[in-house]
């Protein structure tokens, strides 16, 4: 897709008109729904087998920490091999693992270990997919494509959660796992057939080095760049703080004596706001406006959490959480800058590193906020998360005003994405 004229908004129709993006978009949406269904089914299966709510809950977080291993030590694979091969291999691996979970009588420890080991490859697959999107969509089309990517991911997660309970009830947890394996297989076929005309990726000069050493060097090179560091943390810290806050909504609703089902309503407000924010900011605002509103939207992620220390009514809290979700559209003002700041030979690894840091911090967020409740009330702990998000926004604004371009290495003009 050609670069869009500076300042002009790109439409969703134009983005979906690009065949390669359409294949990636459809296959990724299918696998996100499958991931959610797999998690619900496996959690139910483990709870039925053990009666342990803690082990059932562990299923939801078992794939977070292993991604740190994959991103740090294997991230270079995203730039070494064809994106098509990496994505297909990843989906087929999940096919085998999920079918095994559905058919074999494995112990709980073996089920969790299997999911954790395979999750190590998630940053590689995410890096390869994001790199291909960046190569396919240029200028504002890239940002709008990422917006659509986020919207579809949120919808797929919501459908996976809703459909997961129904599927488990109708066909049993093992049947739901086998259906999930079929979904992964279909996604792999979509990518294998739909992306067969991709040009061969040139072999990187460092391909003779071991994957681990190349990954380590690549990560160090990326993190030495001040602009990359700042943009990386700006995209990772607010989601970590907000995830920590939302992880307390169930006990928060119980302690406030809200009606049954209130926690589910509050939990749904954040993703609903995210959908709304990405649609409005991604579709209706011009590129320059998105970037100017970055700090304001980041503050919108944190400021609404501050009043949760007070005894507010349920509807008011839901409205505040809707605004929190809307604020996540701040990422649309950062994505193009992050793409431009990363060296082209390390672009796949850069996206894999971003995925690694996001998922690791989101896994740690609930742990840290949960520990805070030992010192403060649940509402006050959530307000602390809001304050930390606001602090991140203000620090990002200070750094941005001082200018980050001085840390950007020289690059060919063709390596940059234009507006």
Mean pLDDT computed over 375-381: 90
Give residue 2's pLDDT. 47
Q: Which pTM was predicted?
A: 0.74
pLDDT tier for residue 269 given thresholds of 50, 70 and 90: confident
Identify the helix (H) or strand (E) that includes residue 407.
none
For residue 1, pLDDT over 60 is answered with: no
- Reference 326, options 304, 346, 309, 348; nearest CA is 304
How is 306-341 classified by DSSP, letter by letter?
GGGGS---HHHHHHHHHHHHHHGGGGGGTHHHHHHH
Mention every residue, 6+ apart, whose C-beta is less than 8 A from residue 154: 271, 274, 275, 278
For residues 134 and 210, the model is more confident at 134
Q: Is-contact 286 8, C-beta < 8 A?
A: yes
Q: Is-contact 86 128, C-beta < 8 A?
A: yes
For the chain, what is the mean pLDDT? 83
pLDDT tens figures, 159-207: 776 676 677 778 888 998 999 999 999 999 999 999 887 655 555 544 4
Give residue 13's pLDDT. 84
pLDDT tier for residue 126 given thresholds of 50, 70 and 90: confident
Q: Is-contact 295 350, C-beta < 8 A?
A: no
pLDDT tier for residue 102 given thresholds of 50, 70 and 90: very high
Cα–Cα dist 224/86, whole Å:
27
Mention every residue, 6+ apart, whose C-beta is less than 8 A from residue 326: 273, 274, 276, 277, 280, 297, 300
Determine which of 51-65, 127-141, 326-340 has the lowest per-residue pLDDT on average: 51-65
pLDDT tens figures, 281-316: 887 888 888 889 999 999 999 999 999 999 899 999
Helical pair 83-103 and 108-119, crossing angle rounded to 10 deg: 180
Mean pLDDT computed over 106-111: 91
Per-range mean pLDDT, top range of 18-22, 196-200, 357-361: 18-22
**What are the Cα distances from residue 14, in Å, to 141, 151, 331?**
8, 16, 21
Q: Is-contact 202 308, C-beta < 8 A?
A: no
Give the other-Cβ count within 10 Å of 51's Cβ: 9
Mean pLDDT computed over 117-133: 87
Helix and strand element counts for the chain (H, E): 19, 0
pLDDT tens figures, 87-99: 999 999 999 999 9
């Amino acid at each position: 897709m050609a670069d869009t004229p500076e300042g002009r908004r790109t439409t969703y129709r134009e983005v979906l008109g690009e065949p390669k993006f359409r294949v990636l978009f459809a296959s990724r949406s299918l696998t996100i729904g499958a991931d959610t269904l797999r998690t619900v089914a496996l959690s139910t299966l483990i709870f039925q087998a053990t009666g342990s709510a803690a082990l059932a809950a562990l299923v939801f977080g078992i794939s977070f920490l292993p991604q740190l291993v994959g991103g740090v030590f294997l991230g270079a694979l995203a730039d070494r091999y064809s994106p098509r091969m990496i994505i297909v291999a990843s989906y087929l691996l999940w096919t085998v693992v999920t079918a095994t979970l559905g058919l074999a009588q494995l112990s709980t420890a073996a089920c969790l270990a299997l999911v954790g080991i395979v999750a190590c490859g998630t940053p590689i697959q995410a890096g390869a997919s994001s790199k291909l999107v960046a190569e396919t969509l240029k200028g504002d089309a890239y940002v709008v494509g990422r917006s659509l990517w986020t919207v579809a991911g949120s919808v797929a997660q919501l459908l996976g959660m809703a459909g997961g309970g129904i599927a488990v009830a109708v066909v049993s947890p093992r049947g739901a796992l086998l259906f999930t394996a079929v979904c992964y297989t279909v996604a792999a076929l979509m990518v294998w057939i739909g992306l067969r005309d991709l040009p061969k990726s040139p072999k990187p000069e460092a391909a003779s080095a071991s994957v681990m050493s190349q990954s380590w060097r690549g990560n160090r090179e990326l993190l030495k760049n001040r602009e990359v560091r700042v943009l990386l943390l700006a995209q990772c810290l607010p989601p970590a703080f907000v995830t920590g806050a939302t992880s307390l909504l169930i006990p928060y609703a119980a302690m406030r004596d809200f009606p049954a089902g209130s926690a589910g309503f509050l939990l749904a407000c954040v993703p609903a706001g995210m959908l709304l924010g990405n649609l409005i900011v991604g579709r209706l605002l011009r590129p320059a406006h998105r970037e100017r509103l970055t700090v304001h939207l980041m503050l919108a992620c944190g400021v609404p959490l501050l009043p949760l220390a007070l005894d507010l009514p349920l509807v008011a809290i839901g409205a505040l959480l809707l605004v929190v979700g809307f604020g996540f559209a701040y990422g649309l003002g950062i994505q193009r800058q992050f793409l431009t700041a990363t060296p082209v030979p390390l672009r796949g690894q850069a996206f894999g590193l971003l995925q690694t840091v996001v998922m690791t911090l989101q896994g740690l967020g609930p742990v840290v906020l949960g520990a805070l409740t030992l010192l403060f009330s649940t509402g006050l702990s959530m307000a602390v998360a809001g304050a930390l998000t606001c602090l991140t926004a203000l620090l990002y604004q200070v750094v941005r005003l001082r200018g980050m371009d001085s840390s950007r290495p020289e690059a060919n003009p063709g390596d940059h994405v234009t507006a």
